[in-house]
Amino acid sequence: MGQDKALMRAGGKTLIQIVFDRAREVFDRVMVISDIHEVFEGIGAPVFKDIIPFRGAMVGIVSALLHADTPYVFVVGCDMPLVTAESIKCVVRAAGGEDIVVPRMKNGYFEPLHAAYNRSCISPFLSCIERGRRRKADVYPYLIVRGIEDGPHFMNNGRSVFTNVNTKDDLENIGWAFEETLNADKPGLSDHEAENQGNPKPGAVCVR
């Protein structure tokens, strides 16, 4: 696209602001992992750099885990502005000790940038990165992965919450889908829910 996707605007907000606002509906603490930004205007969250100088989602995920102080971290991409509080909570509530809890599409593929990761992933992730195997699927055989089947909980106004922005046309096409929910006021997880679901806080917005 020739632009920084995190700072592209839709519905009057930047993509990073939209995703951050949705994450804050669920999590008390949110952090941002970015290898190109040190701060985001209007984002009340710490921004951390990748721990090693390799681009890729796996590096961003393990960076989030190393900066977190909780058993789980929920990771979402900044280029997924249709994400909803309900889609996040669907993954969070399913976390029960597995290494990864991740949505599985109808085509059988996983959506790793809308998933919960346990700190148990740190060592296998670092090992794969060291060996140059930086695709997220490379690490799945070494971990306990729980897939959540695609369904209505992963929809937003008739569109998949996993829709990401790669082109200007993408941005224009999804603009109508989330305008009505940009300022929605929805409750997050209760203390009881958090305690019983492994308390996978904080969330991490991965900027790539």
Q: Which domain holds residue 154?
A: 5-206
CA distance 157 to 194: 27
| For residue 202, cis peptide bond before it (omega within 30 degrees of 0) | yes
Task: Find, among 86, 88, 79, the residue nearest to 163 by Cα.
Answer: 79
CA angle 181, 186, 187 (to 5 degrees): 165
The answer to whether residue 143 scores a pLDDT higher than 60 is: yes
The answer to whether residue 208 scores a pLDDT higher than 60 is: no
Specify whether the CB–CB gap between 110 and 154 falls below 8 A.
Answer: no
CA distance 201 to 73: 6
The CATH number of whichever domain residue 20 belongs to comes to: 3.90.550.10
The answer to whether residue 196 scores a pLDDT higher than 70 is: no
Which of helix, strand or coil describes residue 146? strand
The reported pLDDT for the residue numbered 8 is 82
> What's the pLDDT tens digit per position in 168-183?
777 777 765 555 444 4
Q: Is the dihedral of CA 166, 21, 13, 161 positive or negative?
A: positive
The reported pLDDT for the residue numbered 23 is 93
Confidence of residue 192 (pLDDT cuts 50, 70, 90): very low
> What's the pLDDT tens digit per position in 1-59?
456 888 888 778 888 999 999 999 999 889 999 888 888 888 888 999 888 877 788 99
Question: In whole numbers, what is the pLDDT of the chain averaged over residues?
Answer: 82
Q: How many domains does the chain have?
A: 1
CA distance 129 to 185: 39
The reported pLDDT for the residue numbered 198 is 46
The answer to whether residue 62 scores a pLDDT higher than 90 is: yes
The reported pLDDT for the residue numbered 190 is 47
Bridging pattern class, strands 155-156 and 159-160: antiparallel
The reported pLDDT for the residue numbered 107 is 87
Specify whether the CB–CB gap between 46 and 32 falls below 8 A.
Answer: yes
- DSSP characters for 44-97? -S-EE--SSS--SHHHHHHHHHHH--SSEEEEEETT-TT--HHHHHHHHHH-SS
| Per-residue exposure over 121-136, b if at least 16 CB sit within 10 Å of its own CB, e if not | beebbbebbeeeebeb
